[in-house]
Amino acid sequence: MELPADHVFAWMEGISAGREQKDILRIEKAAHFAIAAHEGQVRTSGEAYVNHTFAVAAIVHELGLDTDVVIAALLHDSVEDTPVTLEQIAVEFGNDVSHLVDGVTKMEVIQEFADHQGGKSQQDAKAESLRKMMLAMVDDVRVVLIKLCDRLHNMRTLGAVNIDKQKRVATETLEIFSPLANRLGVWQVKWELEDLAFRYIEPDIYKSIANKLAERRVTRQQFIDEFIADLQTGLTDQGVKAEIKGRVKHIYSIWNKMQKKDLEFEQLFDVRAVRVLVDSVQDCYAALGIIHTNWKYIAGEFDDYIATPKENNYRSIHTAVIGPNGKVVEVQIRTHEIN
C-alpha cells in the first residue's frame, strides 16, 4: 500500500511553515525515503505503516523542534523495521539525524527488554526501563521527544489493537511515558497521553467524566480565554497590572483529584481555572476585590494561603466564582515572586 502523492503534498504544506527552503527540501527527501523504506508494510489497522512515521514527524513539528528532529521522526522506525542502515541515513541526511534514529532505536530495544525481563517483577522492570530512558536524555533530549511523539501517535491509534494490548500499552504509558513528558515539561503531550491511557484503563469512568463535562475541550478552552479577557479588562481598568494564565483540567487529572480528595465530580470547582500573577501582595488583595465585585463567589470555596501559608510554605489566594452561563471558575491569585 503506497501513500498517495496528494497526501505527501498536503503533509509537506503543513510541515513547511516557518522553515527555510533548504530544510523543506531535506524533509521532502526524507519523506520519500521513508515511503520507499516502508513500502508494503501495513499497521494493524490496515493503513500504510509510513502514515505513522508521517504523523510522528508532524507532532514533532508542532512542538517546534528543528529540521533534523523532524527527519529523524520520519525515519525513526526505518533501521529497526526495514533493511535501511544507520550508515545510509548518515550519508543521505547527516550524522546528527543518524545519531537521533540510533537513539530512538535503542530506546525501543530497552523498552522491549524491560517488558520481557525475567526474574523481576513487572514494576521493577518498568522502573529500570525508565531509568535507562532518563540516561538517554543526558546524551540528547531530542531522542526522548521523538519517542514521546511516537508513543502519542500510537496511543491515538490504539483502538486498532486487541483489548489486552490496549490495557498493557495504556498502563505502560501512564507509568513510563507520561512521567517522562512531565519531566521534560511537554505538558500538552503529557495531558493527552494521560487522557488516552485512562480511556483504555478505565473506560467506564472516563466516559462518565467526559459526559459530565458535556462539552468539547476546545469549547471549554474558548470559555477560559473569554473569561481571561474580561478579567484582564477589569484589572487593567482598576490599575492592577497582572499576567493571567488559564487552563482546562483534563479528564485524568479530574479523576485523580476526585480520588485523592474523595470528592464527587459535582464537588469539584476547578475544572476550569485561571491563575492571576501580580507584582505585590497588596495587588493580590486588590485583584481579589475586583474579581468578587464582577462575579458572584461561592461560599466555602475561599482560601487565603497568603495570610496563612500551608506547611510547605505554599502561598496563594484561592476563590471560586460563577462565571458566564453559570459555569464555575476557580481563580488563584499570587505574586510573580511566589510563583
Q: Locate CATH 3.30.460.10 in the chain.
A: 213-335
Global confidence as pTM = 0.75
Burial of 34 (0-12, 13-18, 19+ CB in 10 A): buried
Residue 339 has a pLDDT of 54
**Closest to 201 (Cα-Cα) out of 232, 224, 178, 231:** 178
DSSP 229-252: HHHHHHHHHTT--EEEEEEE--HH
Residue 270 has a pLDDT of 59
Say yes or no: domain 5-201 is CATH 2.40.110.10. no
User: What CA–CA distance (Å, rounded) separates 242 from 333?
Assistant: 10
Instruction: Say what angle helices 67-74 and 141-156 make with each other, to 10 degrees.
Output: 50
pLDDT by residue, tens only, the chain of 339 residues: 455 556 888 999 999 988 999 999 999 999 999 999 999 999 998 899 999 999 999 999 999 999 999 999 999 999 988 999 999 999 999 999 999 999 998 887 666 655 555 434 455 555 656 666 666 665 788 999 999 999 999 999 999 999 999 999 999 899 888 988 888 878 889 999 999 999 999 999 999 888 877 666 677 788 899 999 999 999 999 999 999 998 767 889 889 878 887 878 776 755 788 999 999 999 999 999 999 999 999 988 899 999 998 876 788 999 999 998 888 898 999 998 765
Residue 229 has a pLDDT of 95
Residue 126 has a pLDDT of 59
Catalytic residue among 2, 20, 62, 80: 80
User: What CA–CA distance (Å, rounded) separates 291 from 281?
Assistant: 15
Q: Locate CATH 1.10.3210.10 in the chain.
A: 5-201
> C-alpha grid cell for residue 98?
543518524
Residue 119 has a pLDDT of 39
CATH superfamily of the domain spanning 213-335: Beta Polymerase, domain 2 (3.30.460.10)
3-state secondary structure (DSSP) of residue 321: strand
- Say whether 80 is catalytic: yes
User: What CA–CA distance (Å, rounded) separates 182 from 134?
Assistant: 12
User: What CA–CA distance (Å, rounded) separates 50 from 75?
Assistant: 9
- Say whether 81 is catalytic: yes
Residue 121 has a pLDDT of 42
Residue 192 has a pLDDT of 95
**Closest to 195 (Cα-Cα) out of 185, 183, 186, 207:** 207
Catalytic residue among 47, 81, 175, 202: 81
Instruction: Name residue 82's amino acid.
Output: T
